[in-house]
Chain A
Amino acid sequence: MATSSCLPSQGTLSVFPFLAHDEFESACRAFLDRVRTARSSIVQWSSIRLQSTGPILKISQTLLSSDPSLSQDDASTVPLHSQGVYDPQLEACEEDLEALVRAADTYDNLQVDYDIILSDTYQVPVLYFVLRQADRLLGIEEVYHYLVPRQYRKNIQSVGIMGGISFGYHPVSGTPAFFVHPCNTADAMKDTATGQGIGPEGYLIVWLGLIGNCLRLQLPSELFATEGGPQLENVRY
C-alpha cells in the first residue's frame, strides 16, 4: 500500500463509495479553504462559497466572449482536452487552465451557477446547475452546446431517457435546474478511487474530476501545487 501522501486529505471514508453528510460538509470546507488560499489568478470562477442550508457548495463562472465564430457550432473547438477520449482524471487539469485562458472572451455574457449538494437518497454529491445569458435561462440544447465538451457529448447523451443530464427541481430552492443524474456516481467513484486514504476532500476532488469536467467545472492543477502536489496514487486510471 502506498504510504506517501495521496490525495490532499488523509483518512478513511465511512461509507465509500458513498459520502456521509458530515464528510460532505468537511470536504466542502477544506476545498473552499484550498481555493481561498490559492492565488486568485489561478481560479477562473467568479465566486465560490458554502451555503449552510443544505449545505451547498456554490460556484459561479462567467464565460465571456466576443468571438462570434464560437457561438456557431462548435463550442468544443475550444481545446479543452485534445484527446477525444473520456478522460476523468484530475491530471487533465493542467491543460484546462490554458484552455480557460484561451476560452476567455469566447462567450457572450454566459453565466453558469453550479450547486453541489449531497443527495439524501443516493448519498453522493450531485451537480445542479443553471446556464444564463443576460438573465435568461438557457435550455438543454444550449447546455450541451456551451458546457459539454464535444468528446463527452455522445457518452452523456446516450444514457437514460434524455441523456445523463436531467432537467428537474433544485432540492433546496425548488426552482428549475439541470443536474447530472447521480444513480451511477457511486459506481464511478468505486472504479476511480478506493475508500482508503482519500478522505472527504479527496473524494470531492475525484468527484469534481469525474462530473465537473463534463460540464466545464474544472480544477486548475495549480490548486494542488502546494506541498509537493498531490500524488494520486490511490486513484486508479
Chain B
Amino acid sequence: MDQLSLGSIQKAVWEGHLPLQFTLAPSESRTYDQTDPYLISYSRISYLPSLLPKLKAFFSSSLIDPAASAPHDGWFSFENVPLKWHYPVGLLYDLYAGAAPATKSSDADASSDDSLPWKLVVHFSDWPDEELVRLDAQGMVMNDAFINSVKEADFVRNGTAKGIMSLSKDDSSGLWKAVQDVDLPSFQRIMNILLPAPSQPFRNLPVRLFLPLPPKPDSTDSDIDPTTPSLKVVQSPIPPTMTLPLAQTTTNMTQSTLLSSSRIPSGTGSPQPQTQQQTIGSALHSLLPNLFPSKRTPVLAKPVLHGAAVPMSAPVEEVVRCSAYGDGWVYIVIRMMG
C-alpha cells in the first residue's frame, strides 16, 4: 500500500471518536442515581484520566463530599469492572462493550447501537488498589506508563530502546502531549524520528492480542466477582516476514491467487527459500492456531482494531505503521464469532 493510503488510514484512526456517557457512582452522589450524566464525544486513541478535571468540576455539586477528593482520585468502571486507564478508551470499548465490529456494508444488527453512547461510571473514592494503579496529581504515573509503553514498542521494532532514549527531552514530552492533544502532525514529526524508514524493515512487530476469557464461576477469591470476565493478553515476537519451507513455497506458488499480498515473485524457476510478508492472518494463525485455523478466513473468531474488523490479508507491518495507537502498539481484540 502506498504512503498516501497509509497516511489516510492513520488520519481516520486519529479522527475516530466514541460517544461516552459518564454517571457519578450513586453511592457518592447527593441524589443517588438521579445525577445528570456527562456526555462527550471523545477520541478513541485518548486515555480516560485526561477527562478527570472536567468530570470532577461537572460532578462537584453532586458529590456528597466534593472537598474530600481531587481529580486524580477519579477512576472508571463499566458494569462494575474497573477500567485500566493505561489503555486507550477505544481499546477498552472494543474489549468490554461487546459491540460487533463495524463492517463496510454496515449490516451489523441494530442491537450493536445499544452500546452507544458507552455508559461508564466515574468514582472519586474507594480506589480499587488491588486492581488499578493509582494516579498522581501531576500526571507523572500516566506519563511514565505511556513512555514505558513507547519504549517497549521501540525495543520490539529495533531490538534496542536507544531511539526513544535518544529523543530530546522536548520531543519525548512532546510525544505524550501530541497524543493527549490528538495532534497528529506533531505526533508524526516525532514518530518519524523513532520509526525506521519504510525501506528498512522492523525487527519485530509490536502487536498485542487481547482474548476475552469466560467468567470463572469456580473462583475461590471472594473479593472477585465471579461473573467478572477476565482477559488474556498474548504477546510474542512477530517478525515482519516469514521464511517458507521449500515444500510449502512450491505449494503456495501453485496457489498464487491465495497470496495476493505476498512478496513471492511469480514464475521463478528453481525453488529457493522464500520470504513472505507477515499478514494479520498468518500472525494470528501462528500465535492462536486453535482460534485461527485458517490464515485467510476468520472461522471461529475475528480480529478487531479501532472498532473495525482487520482484513486477514493486511500486512502486519503496514498495520503497525498506520494503525498503531499513540504508544506505537497495535492492540487487537479477538472477538468470538457466532
Contact = CB atoms under 8 A, between A and B. Distances in A.
A162 interface: yes
Interface stretch (A29-37, A145-153, A169-177, A192-200): A169-177
Contacts of B144: 160-162, 166-167
A139 B134 contact: yes
Contact of B141 (A137, A162, A174, A183): A162
A123 B147 CA distance: 19
A183 B130 contact: no
Contact of A183 (B129, B165, B236): B165
Contacts of B84: 169
Interface string B112-125: 00000000000000
Interface residues of B, number: 26
State the majority secondary structure of interface residues on A: loop
B73 to A, nearest CB: 13
Interface string A176-189: 10000101000000
A121 interface: yes
Given A161-B143, A183-B151, A183-B161, A168 B156 contact: no
Contacts of A121: 152, 155-156, 235
Interface string A29-52: 000000000000000000000000
B148 interface: yes
Contacts of A167: 133-134, 141, 144-145
Contacts of B147: 160-161
B193 interface: no
A122 interface: yes
Interface in B64-100: 84, 86
Nearest to A122: B155
A162 B140 contact: yes
A180 to B, nearest CB: 12
A181 B148 contact: yes
A168 B231 contact: no
A176 B141 CA distance: 12
B129 A176 contact: yes
Contact of A175 (B131, B145, B236): B131
A168 B148 contact: yes
B12 interface: no
A169 B133 contact: yes
A183 B155 CA distance: 8
B132 interface: yes
A167 B140 CA distance: 10
Contacts of A137: 129-130
Given A120-B237, A169-B133, A176-B133, 9 more contacts: A121-B156, A161-B144, A166-B145, A167-B134, A175-B130, A176-B132, A176-B134, A181-B148, A183-B155
26 contacts: A121-B156, A122-B152, A136-B129, A137-B129, A137-B130, A139-B134, A161-B140, A161-B144, A161-B147, A162-B141, A162-B143, A166-B144, A166-B145, A167-B134, A167-B141, A167-B144, A167-B145, A168-B133, A168-B145, A169-B84, A174-B231, A175-B131, A176-B129, A176-B130, A176-B132, A176-B134
A-B interface, 6 closest residue pairs, ranked by CB to CB distance from nearest: A161-B144, A183-B161, A176-B133, A162-B140, A162-B144, A137-B129
